[in-house]
Structure 1
Amino acid sequence: MSAISFGDMAASLRNMRMTAQVKQDLDRYNYEVASGEKYDLAEAVSGDFAPLASIERALRTLSSYDTAIQEASLFATAMQTSFESVSTHVEELSSTLMTASTNADATSVSVAASDARTRFDAVVSTLNTRIGDRSLLSGTATGKTSLISADDMMADLLTAVSGATTVEDVGIIVDDWFMSAGGGYETVAYQGSANALSPFSLGEDETVRMDITALDEAVRETLKGLALASLVDEGVFENDVSAQASLLRSSGEALMGAQSGLADLQARVGSVEARIEEASLANTAMTYSYETAKSEIISADAYESASMLTQTETQLQLMYTLTARMSQLSLADYL
Structure 2
Amino acid sequence: MSFVSIGDLSRGFAMRTQNAEIKARLSRLGEEVTTGVTANPAERLRGDFRALGAIERSLAVMDSYDLATKEAALTTDAMQTALSRLYDTGQTLSGSMLNASTMHDARTVNALGRESKERLDLTVATLNIQVGGRSLFAGAATDSAALASGADILAEVQTAIAGLTTANDVVAAIDAWFDTPGGGFETVGYIGSDNPAGPVRLNEGNSMTLDVTASDPVIRDVLKGLVAGALLSDENLFSGDLDERAELLGAAGEQLLTNTAELVSLQGEIGVAQARIETIGTENAASRQMLDLARLDMLSVDPYDAATEFQAVEAQLETVYTITARLSRLSLADYI
TM-score by length of 1: 0.91
**1: CA distance, partners of 2:228 / 2:14:** 98
Report the secondary structure of 2:202's partner residue: strand
In structure 1, what is the equivalent of residue 276 of structure 2?
275
Q: Indicate if the aligned counterparts of 1:179 and 1:221 stay in contact, CA closer than 8 A.
A: no
Shift of 1:114: 2.0
Shift of 1:329: 4.3
**2: CA distance, partners of 1:333 / 1:283:** 72
Any unmatched runs of 5+ in structure 2? none
In structure 2, what is the equivalent of residue 318 of structure 1?
319
Q: Indicate if the aligned counterparts of 1:98 and 1:248 stay in contact, CA closer than 8 A.
A: yes
Shift of 1:328: 3.9
Q: Deviations over 1:148-177 (max 9, x none)?
A: 111111111111111101111111111111
Q: Deviations over 1:230-252 (max 9, x none)?
A: 11112322421111111111111
| Identity in percent | 38
Shift in CA distance, 222/331, structure 1 to aligned 2, threshold 3 Å: closer
Report the secondary structure of 1:201's partner residue: strand
**1: CA distance, partners of 2:14 / 2:182:** 94
Any unmatched runs of 5+ in structure 1? none
**2: CA distance, partners of 1:245 / 1:5:** 124
In structure 2, what is the equivalent of residue 227 of structure 1?
227
Alignment of 1:54-69 (within 5 A): 54-69=54-69
Shift of 1:303: 4.6
* Cα RMSD, aligned residues only: 2.3
Shift in CA distance, 227/15, structure 1 to aligned 2, threshold 3 Å: closer
Amino acid in the other structure paired with 1:155: A
**1: CA distance, partners of 2:147 / 2:14:** 83
Shift in CA distance, 94/22, structure 1 to aligned 2, threshold 3 Å: same
Deviates more, 1:45-54 or 1:154-163: 45-54
Q: Deviations over 1:176-233 (max 9, x none)?
A: 1112212211111111111111111111131111111111100111111111111111
Q: Deviations over 1:24-77 (max 9, x none)?
A: 322321332454431221222233211111110110011111111112111111
**2: CA distance, partners of 1:102 / 1:47:** 85
Deviates more, 1:317-326 or 1:131-140: 317-326
Aligned length: 332
Amino acid in the other structure paired with 2:213: T
In structure 1, what is the equivalent of residue 248 of structure 2?
247
In structure 1, what is the equivalent of residue 46 of structure 2?
46
Shift of 1:85: 0.6
Q: Deviations over 1:86-134 (max 9, x none)?
A: 1110111111100001111112212222221211111111111112322
In structure 1, what is the equivalent of residue 285 of structure 2?
284
Query: Out of 5, 8, 23, which is 1:8 matched to?
Result: 5
In structure 1, what is the equivalent of residue 148 of structure 2?
148
Shift of 1:299: 2.9
TM-score by length of 2: 0.91
Establish whether residue 190 from structure 1 lines up as the match of residue 160 from structure 2. Answer: no
**2: CA distance, partners of 1:190 / 1:169:** 23
Shift in CA distance, 327/140, structure 1 to aligned 2, threshold 3 Å: closer
